[in-house]
C-alpha cells in the first residue's frame, strides 16, 4: 500500500538541498510512495510538546535544538522521517526512546574550508586578522596552526557567515567544504584544510535519516538508500564521541575511513586554546567499528582527555 512520507527538515537552504537529495533517492528505490517536505521551526516546540522530554532524552537548547525539534515532530506523528546533518546530532546521549537512524547517505567531503574576500587567502592575511568560526573544534585547531590570527565566534547559517566575510565583520570564515558545495558556494573556497591540519568533526559530510523504530515500511525504504561504508564509519566516530561524553561545546574531532576490509580511525581531543592536543588512531576489521570507536575513546581517556574536556566545559559555562 502506498504512503505519503513527510520528511522533517529545517528551513535553511542547506537543509532543503539535503532533503531534496533524500527524496530523489527514495523515489528511485520506492516509487510506489510519495514524499513531502515538512518544515520545522525549533523555537517553541519544547513548550508545546506534551511528552516527558527528559525521559525521551530530549532537552532543549544549544546546537542540537533543531535536531530535537525534528525528533519531536516524529514523536508527535507530524512527520515520518527527519533529515539530519550527522555532525549536528548530539553524541553524548542515546537517541530518544522509539527513534532510530537506519540510514545515511553517501558521505561527501569531510574537510573544512576557508572563505576569504576576493583576492585573499590565509597566506595573504596579515597578523591579527579575524577568523570566524562557529565551532570550538575548529577554533582550537586554528589557534594551534595559525597563532598569528585572532579566532572569533561567528554565528548563523553558512551563507550568512560568508556574507559576514564580505561585509568585513571578519576577514575569513571556516566552514564545512561539503556544506558550501551543497549550497553552491564552493567557488568561494580560498583554502581547503586537510585533515592533518584540521581534523573534521564527528559525522562531518554525512546526512542521516531518522524515523520511528516501529514504522516497518519507513525502515524498509530507508535501508534501501543507506550507504554501508558511511554508516559504519560515522557510527564508529559516534561511539567514541558518546564514551567521551562529547558535545558541540567540547573540542573533539574524529574521522573514520573504510580501506579494504578495515576501518581506519583517527581522533583528537584539544584544549580550547589549541596549546595541548591528544591524538589517537587505530584500525580494526570492518565489522568491528563500534569496538574501534570504543578503543580510541579509551586511549584518549588514558592520555588525559577527561582533564581537557572538563576544562573546556568549565570555560564554556
Which residues are known to be catalytic?
88
Phi and psi (nearest 5°) for 93? Answer: -130, 160
Which cell numbers in the block locate residue 41?
A: 521551526
Phi and psi (nearest 5°) for 43? Answer: -60, 125
What 3-state class would DSSP assign to 142? Answer: helix
Q: CA-CA distance, 269 to 254, in Å (whole number)?
A: 9
b vs e for 82-111, b when ≥16 Cβ sit within 10 Å of the residue's Cβ? bbbbbbbbbbbeebbeebbbbbbbbbbbbb
| Residue 142 CA: distances (Å) to CA of 130, 148, 240, 255 | 12, 10, 23, 18
Find the length of the chain.
317
* Contact of 121 with 45, CB cutoff 8 Å: no
* Contact of 218 with 81, CB cutoff 8 Å: yes
List the beta bridge partners of residue 173.
Answer: 115, 132
Bin 119: left if φ > 0, else alpha if -120 < ψ < 50, else beta. Answer: left
| Residue 32 CA: distances (Å) to CA of 10, 19, 122, 259 | 26, 19, 50, 36
Q: Nearest-5° angle of CA 185, CA 228, CA 92? A: 75
Amino acid at each position: 500500500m502506498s504512503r505519503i512520507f513527510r520528511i522533517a527538515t529545517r528551513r535553511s537552504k542547506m537543509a532543503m538541498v539535503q532533503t531534496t537529495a533524500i527524496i530523489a533517492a527514495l523515489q528511485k528505490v520506492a516509487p510506489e510512495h510519495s514524499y513531502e517536505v515538512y518544515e520545522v521551526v525549533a523555537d517553541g516546540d519544547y513548550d508545546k510538546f506534551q511528552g516527558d522530554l527528559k525521559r525521551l532524552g530530549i532537552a532543549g537548547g544549544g546546537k542540537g535544538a533543531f535536531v530535537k525539534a525534528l525528533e519531536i515532530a516524529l514523536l508527535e506523528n507530524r512527520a515520518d522521517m527527519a533529515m539530519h546533518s550527522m555532525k549536528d546530532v548530539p553524541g553524548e546521549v542515546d537517541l530518544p526512546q522509539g527513534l532510530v537512524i537506519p540510514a545515511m547517505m553517501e558521505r561527501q567531503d569531510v574537510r573544512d574550508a576557508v572563505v576569504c574576500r576576493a583576492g585573499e587567502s590565509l597566506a595573504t592575511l596579515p597578523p591579527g586578522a579575524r577568523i570566524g568560526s562557529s565551532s570550538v573544534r575548529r577554533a582550537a585547531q586554528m589557534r594551534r596552526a595559525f597563532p598569528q590570527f585572532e579566532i572569533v565566534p561567528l554565528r548563523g547559517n553558512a551563507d550568512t557567515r560568508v556574507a559576514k566575510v564580505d561585509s568585513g565583520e571578519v576577514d575569513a570564515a571556516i566552514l564545512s567544504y561539503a556544506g558550501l558545495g551543497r549550497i553552491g558556494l564552493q567557488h568561494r573556497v580560498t583554502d581547503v584544510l586537510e585533515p592533518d591540519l584540521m581534523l573534521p568533526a564527528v559525522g562531518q559530510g554525512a546526512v542521516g535519516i531518522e524515523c520511528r523504530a516501529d514504522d516497518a515500511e519507513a525502515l524498509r525504504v530507508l535501508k534501501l538508500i543507506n550507504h554501508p561504508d558511511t554508516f559504519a564509519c560515522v557510527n564508529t566516530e559516534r561511539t567514541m564521541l558518546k564514551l567521551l561524553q562529547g558535545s558541540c561545546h567540547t573540542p573533539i574531532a574524529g574521522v573514520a575511513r573504510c580501506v579494504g576490509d578495515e576501518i581506519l580511525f583517527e581522533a583528537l581531543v584539544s584544549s580550547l586554546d589549541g596549546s595541548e592536543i591528544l591524538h589517537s588512531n587505530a584500525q580494526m576489521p570492518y565489522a568491528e567499528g563500534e569496538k574501534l570507536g570504543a578503543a580510541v575513546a579509551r586511549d584518549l581517556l588514558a592520555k588525559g582527555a577527561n582533564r581537557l574536556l572538563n576544562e573546556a566545559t568549565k570555560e564554556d559555562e
